[in-house]
A = this chain, B = another copy of it.
Amino acid sequence: MALEIYTLKEGPKMENVAVKNRLSLLRAKMAEYGIDYYMMPTSDFHNSEYAADFFKAREYFTGFTGSNGTVVISKDWAGLWTDGRYFIQAEKEIEGTGVTLYRMGNEGVPTLNEYLKDNMKDGQVLGFDGRVIATAIGLGIEKALKDKKVSFSYERDLADEVWTDRPALPCHEIYKLKEELFGKSFKEKLADVRKKMEEYKCDSHLLSKLDDITWLTNLRGNDVECNPVALSYAFITLDEFHFFVQEAELTDEIKAYCKDNDITVHDYHEVMEFLKNRKYTGNILVDKNNINYSTYRTLLDAAGKDKLVYNDNPTELMKAIKNDTEMKNIREVYIRDSAKLCEFMYWVKTNVGKIPMDEYSAAMKLDSMRAELPGFIELSFPTISAYGPNAAMMHYEATKEDHAEVKPEGMLLVDSGGTYEGGTTDVTRTIVVGPISDEVKKHYTGTCLGMLHLANAKFLKGCTGRNLDILARQPLWAMDIDYKCGTGHGIGYMLNVHEGPHNIRWQYREGLKEYELVPGMIVSDEPGVYKEGSHGIRIENIIEVVEGNKNDDGQFLGFEHLTYAPIDLEAIDTQYMQQGDIDLLNEYHKAVFEKVSPLIKDQAIVDWLKEQTRPISK
């Protein structure tokens, strides 16, 4: 096949020459290796949410920078699948690349598997790097294509052959935080995991999700943006613990810690050989959703199908249920983080229109304020600072080069958080910076009601997020508005800002496993309104699950807020609120002032906060 080289042409729609040329080169490689469709998701070898630059092949070949998306490329077509958070952003970023956007979940849009099923022909080859494909996804594709005579080529990373200036694999030193921050030692956690392995009748277990390994070992790393994790694998048996990391990441302190804890260290790149050569006597516990397809195929070949036990990765649920030490630290960290956010909100509101302010400079201001807090480690994700219509893009990121000016009108949405010694935070406030329309007030009030209704839910033990999601959505659904994302996600402890296994989402998928909400879990509560081209609103509090009363009817549960920052009363329209709603808002604001004001030194800000949290009435 001839290699088409694109050069810039003038026209109504700008061509993205760079991306088109990359795709051309990739297509040449596909032809060379007899690959008809080549797939690149957004993943590292560990299904991490944030892939390091080394892993951003999908971005390199499409231009789309969002955190979720999969591109599939054929000789004469390329399609990008992404979710509702990114529809607007993706459309903008792939303009002129020739890549077609497939809006996941929208009516009439085929899933990636459906597309492959409908379009691949007998005898064709689907290629992908099996290390960046989660096993569950690989198995899903196998299932979708089972009636076709299609073969998989999963051992070649084609991107690597085209991408000449590819960044290096991340490699940063692993570190330890104070042991008293954890509430539970590595050895205690490992004993719990082994107990679960025995329950599942397994004598070994491959763990490859980075935050799980990080949580279990009580170590921290720096190989993924905003996630304090190290590229690693762990292979656990009932009496061994094999830890695969890049040797350059190990300091003497960490080596000593490993030795003290009977951790056998191997080089990161030796994991496949290790898995291939090991003699497996008993069953191996694997989490299909998190080990990669290459690892899975290696285990399958080495141990045989019958020895693989697919079940939950027990670490995931243990990690989600915070212990008392963790919860105590988290509560304190959230109040400190909330106080800092209040100071930032004051800064925005008092300075807008008076000093130069743009989305990026506002984000930088907040980031630098957070960095002043004691025990600050890093941001928990790149701060989202989105003004006006930009806020309608759920995961918009303003950059130094590309950002909007913040003017004294409309609203600025700021979604941000930090990882500190003592916890990881996540919070969104949409700040009124000038006149707003009645429609915007209506939408803001609906969003606020959704957040408050969920946070004030009383529910029976046994409920999962699917039972509760509607409480956050109902005020907006009643306005014929939906937000195309989940309502809530779990949050790590000095770890990833998004973690499972629980969440607050409503949509049904056959066979979807749900996890009940139990005390010690923390979860975000973040309804929103996103009106393309007009405005975006999100209010996000983090809430913890707490015990309520217990009686013959069962154990009742509820939530308590962890986040304490004012709801913008300038955007509240009480005509959409019941008296009970007003009471909830006033109670919350009373608590905000009581908890946060003692941490604020500047009396002007305390006065402002008092005003921002004043009780309102109809």
The interface of chain A, by Cβ under 8 A from chain B, is 107, 457-460, 462-464, 466-471, 473-474, 477-478, 480-482, 484, 506-508, 510-511, 513-514, 516, 548-549, 551, 553-554, 556, 578-581
A356 CA / B516 CA spacing, docked (Å) = 51
Knowing A468-B470, A471-B470, the reply to whether A462 touches B548 (Cβ < 8 A) is: no
A-B contact pairs, 30 of them (CB 8 A): A107-B554, A458-B477, A458-B478, A458-B480, A459-B470, A459-B474, A459-B477, A460-B477, A462-B506, A462-B507, A464-B508, A466-B466, A466-B508, A467-B467, A467-B470, A467-B508, A468-B470, A470-B471, A471-B474, A477-B556, A480-B548, A480-B549, A482-B554, A484-B553, A508-B514, A511-B511, A578-B578, A578-B579, A578-B581, A579-B579
A172 CA / B31 CA spacing, docked (Å) = 72
Query: Which chain B residues border A578 with CB–CB below 8 Å?
Result: 578-581
Query: Which chain B residues border A464 with CB–CB below 8 Å?
Result: 508
Which of A471, A506, A513 has its CB near the most chain B CB atoms (within 10 A)? Answer: A506
A-B pairs, 8 with minimum CB distance: A578-B578, A482-B553, A458-B478, A458-B477, A480-B549, A578-B580, A508-B514, A467-B506
Query: Which chain B residues border A553 with CB–CB below 8 Å?
Result: 480-482, 484
> Assembly of this chain: how many copies?
2
Query: Which chain B residues border A478 with CB–CB below 8 Å?
Result: 458
Query: Which chain B residues border A510 with CB–CB below 8 Å?
Result: 513
Q: How far is the CB of A30 from chain B (nearest CB, A)?
A: 33
Query: Which chain B residues border A477 with CB–CB below 8 Å?
Result: 458-460, 556
- Name which residue of chain B comes closest to A461, CB basis: B107
A142 CA / B478 CA spacing, docked (Å) = 47
Query: Which chain B residues border A581 with CB–CB below 8 Å?
Result: 578
Query: Which chain B residues border A459 with CB–CB below 8 Å?
Result: 470, 474, 477
A466 CA / B553 CA spacing, docked (Å) = 19
A459 CA / B467 CA spacing, docked (Å) = 14
A107 CA / B553 CA spacing, docked (Å) = 10
Query: Which residue from B457, B513, B551 sits with its C-beta under 8 Å from A474?
Result: B457
Query: Which chain B residues border A554 with CB–CB below 8 Å?
Result: 107, 482
A566 CA / B115 CA spacing, docked (Å) = 53
- Name which residue of chain B comes closest to A470, CB basis: B467
Q: A551 touching B480 by the CB < 8 A rule?
A: yes
Q: How far is the CB of A282 from chain B (nearest CB, A)?
A: 16
- Name which residue of chain B comes closest to A483, CB basis: B553
- Name which residue of chain B comes closest to A514, CB basis: B508
Query: Which chain B residues border A466 with CB–CB below 8 Å?
Result: 466-467, 508
Q: B470 touching A482 by the CB < 8 A rule?
A: no
A460 CA / B481 CA spacing, docked (Å) = 9
Q: How far is the CB of A110 from chain B (nearest CB, A)?
A: 17
Q: Given A457-B474, A458-B480, list of 8 further CB < 8 A pairs? A: A107-B554, A459-B470, A460-B477, A460-B482, A464-B508, A466-B467, A467-B506, A578-B581
Q: A463 touching B506 by the CB < 8 A rule?
A: yes
Query: Which residue from B467, B480, B484, B507 sits with its C-beta under 8 Å from A469?
Result: B467
Q: B508 touching A462 by the CB < 8 A rule?
A: yes
A469 CA / B460 CA spacing, docked (Å) = 12
A508 CA / B468 CA spacing, docked (Å) = 12
Q: How far is the CB of A168 from chain B (nearest CB, A)?
A: 43
Q: How far is the CB of A150 from chain B (nearest CB, A)?
A: 19
- Name which residue of chain B comes closest to A552, CB basis: B532
Query: Which residue from B457, B471, B480, B516 sits with its C-beta under 8 Å from A508?
Result: B516
A482 CA / B474 CA spacing, docked (Å) = 22
A526 CA / B495 CA spacing, docked (Å) = 44
Q: How far is the CB of A555 from chain B (nearest CB, A)?
A: 8
Q: How far is the CB of A355 from chain B (nearest CB, A)?
A: 37
Which of A468, A478, A511 has its CB near the most chain B CB atoms (within 10 A)? Answer: A478
A549 CA / B481 CA spacing, docked (Å) = 10
- Name which residue of chain B comes closest to A480, CB basis: B549
- Name which residue of chain B comes closest to A580, CB basis: B578
Q: How far is the CB of A365 from chain B (nearest CB, A)?
A: 34
- Name which residue of chain B comes closest to A464, CB basis: B508
